[in-house]
Structure formats: structure tokens, C-alpha cells
Chain A
Amino acid sequence: MARKRTALADADELDLVPIMNLVTILIPFILMASSFVTLAVIDSTLPAIGQPQQVEQDPDDKPPLMLSLMVTNMGITVAGADAVLFPEGAPELAEGEDRPPTIPCPGSECSDLESYDFAELTRILGMIKDEYPDDENVILVPESRIPYELIVKVMDHSREDVDAKNADGTPRTLFPFVVIAGGAE
């Protein structure tokens, strides 16, 4: 009688070994196909090639924005927006003298990525966007030795201002369409 009860109890217990086998096979398979980092893309185009077009401009109109960002190891120069940056006229430069960077590096050169003042870049681009709300293009002109990571950082900070929000709570869009130009030697 006692032996019969023991046999019954044994039969009730669930045999988990086949499920364990299945799970053990599934785990390496899913582990291989899993991604623990998310990939994304930044769109960019080549500069358009063509004949320059003469555009009739009303003298009362604002000068068109040809925003360019020159990235060198001395800092970032914002060009093409002098009407916003220098409302009383750009400072005179001696012959052969280059314009100093709008956002210079501390000291004479930027030693690493952190030396660049990206917050100031976003602030200046925000000012330009206030004046030209319909413009969305920016031309990036990096120097030959500038690392790719820095170019991506400049693109990020010129695309949107994460500190200023739109009405719907998304970051304020600045100049999302980046054209990468040949660059300075």
C-alpha cells in the first residue's frame, strides 16, 4: 500500500529536463542575434556641383544665409552669418590674416574633444536660427587632421539644441541638413 503511494507521487512530478534542453539551445542562438547597442544614422550629402546662379536680391532683404562651420585644431569658425554675429560690421583683418575662430580653444590648440566649447556653438547657432528660422542647411568644413568623432559631435550640436525645447517637448531643431565640404588642408 505504502509503495503504491510513493509511485503515485513520483508520477505527479513534472519532468523539466526536456524544457531545460530546449532553453539551453535557445539561449546561445538568441545571444548571437541580440544587439545590446542601438545603431542610428546621420544623413549627409555631397555639395551640389553646378553653375553659380545669379539671384536678384532686393536691397531691403536680409542677406542670404550661407552658414559654414570650419573645424580646425584651433577651434570652430562660424562663417556666412556675419549679419547676426557682427551686426555693426565684421572686424577688419590685415592682408593675409585669417579670421580667428569664433569659438576658440583654450590655449592655442584643442588637445582633445572636451576642449571644444560645444555649448557655445549651440548658443551661437540658436542666435542665427532666431534670425533665419526657415534655413536648415549648414556646410561643414573640417581640417584634414580632424578626427571623425569630432565631426559627428559638431553635426550633433548643429542639428538640435537639447536644452531648448519645442512646444511638444522635443529638442529645438537648428540646422539638421549637413553638407560636408572638401575641407581645409
Chain B
Amino acid sequence: MALKKAQRKQEEGGLTITSMMDMMTIILVFLLKSYSTDDISVAASDDLVLPVSTTMVKPQLAVNLVVTRSIVVVDGVEVLRLTEEADEENPGDMIVAVPEDEKKGQLITRLYDRLLEKAEDAKQLAEMTGSEDHEFKGRILLQCDKNLPFSVIREVMYTAGQAQFSEFRFVVYQGGT
């Protein structure tokens, strides 16, 4: 009698794996559907929130310039830090700006050097391969935080333009109206 009772207890305690398997299969299918092979990725953070746009143009691989509220990054390498200055027009408010000692007029010197290196590398690659796919077209992907003032973006664009990058691709989240 005691033996039978113990045996039944053991059977009841066994893990029912079938329902868990169903759940896992559904999750797997969902994840496979949202699996992405995009050319670019965004490391979203508090300092980098991209704006939302209705554009449908897909991004293509190019030099990636990221401007957050605190740093400027070119192809994953930090180039310079931005500062927060007192806003002269609105006393009490702070505004993000490029430090004065990093600039020559509107040109951000360290960013210019880095971008010029990238442009030279891209040109060399185009020369070596001789293929049209690798031809240097001066394209640059710009990922900017949505709250950045235009003054910072203008200086970044001017610097990129001086370093032979004149075709800008502003990276945004797709959606909205």
C-alpha cells in the first residue's frame, strides 16, 4: 500500500515538458520573424534617442557618425566630448555645444582629422578594388539625438562637408505621421 502511494507521488511530480515546448516554439517563431540583418545598428541610450520620421528609405552601409548629447563617435570610436553651456538667450537653461577649444570657426578639428582619414581610407579601398560598389561617394550616416540643437548639427555637417562627405543620410526611426 505504502509502495503504491510513493510510486503515484513520483509520477505526479514529473515535469510536463510539452506545454513548455509549445511556448518556446511560439517565441522562437516570433523572434525569427523580427530577426534583422540591417546594415546599421543603433546603440540607444538616454543620450541618444533618434527622432521618428515617415521616410521609407532603407539605410545603406556608409561611414557612421553618431552625435549623442555628450559625445561624438565615428565608426564606433569616440572622437570628442560635448559640453553643456549656459544658454545666453534663455538664462537658467543649459544648451549642448562643442567646446570652443575643439573648434576653428565652425570646423571641429579633431572630427575633421578623423573623417578625413576615413575618406582617404575609402578612396584607397576604391582604388585597390577598382569596383564601382566601393567607389567613394562622400556618403555619411548621421545618427543624432532628437534634442540636439541645430547649432551642433550645423557644425558637424560643416566639418563633414569639409572632409569631403557631402551626402548626408539622417538615421531615424521609421513610423509616425
Contacts and interface: CB of A to CB of B under 8 A. Distances in A.
A66 interface: no
B17 A44 contact: no
Interface string A30-69: 1101111111111111100000000000000000000000
A41 B150 CA distance: 18
Contacts of B167: 43, 45
A36 B150 CA distance: 29
A180 interface: yes
A148 B174 contact: no
Interface string B51-77: 111111111100000000000000000
Interface stretch (A75-83, A84-92, A123-131, A154-162): A154-162
A16 B18 contact: yes
B59 A145 contact: no
Contact of A142 (B31, B51, B150): B150
A126 to B, nearest CB: 16
A112 to B, nearest CB: 12
A147 B53 contact: no
Interface residues of A, number: 43
Nearest to A15: B17
A115 interface: no
Contacts of B153: 148, 151
Contacts of A152: 51-53, 146, 170, 172
Contacts of B55: 40-42, 156, 159
A33 B37 CA distance: 8
Contacts of A156: 53-55
Contacts of B168: 43-46, 180
B31 A31 contact: yes
B154 interface: yes
A143 B95 CA distance: 14
A148 B21 contact: no
A180 B149 contact: no
Contacts of A12: none
A155 B55 CA distance: 9
B129 interface: no
A31 B31 CA distance: 6
A94 interface: no
B38 A35 contact: yes
A45 to B, nearest CB: 6
A182 interface: yes
B133 interface: no
Given A26-B28, A41-B141, A144 B57 contact: no
Interface string A159-179: 110100000000000000000
23 contacts: A16-B17, A20-B20, A20-B24, A23-B24, A23-B25, A31-B31, A33-B35, A35-B34, A37-B174, A41-B55, A41-B60, A41-B171, A45-B166, A45-B168, A46-B168, A144-B150, A147-B146, A148-B147, A149-B146, A152-B52, A152-B172, A159-B54, A162-B177
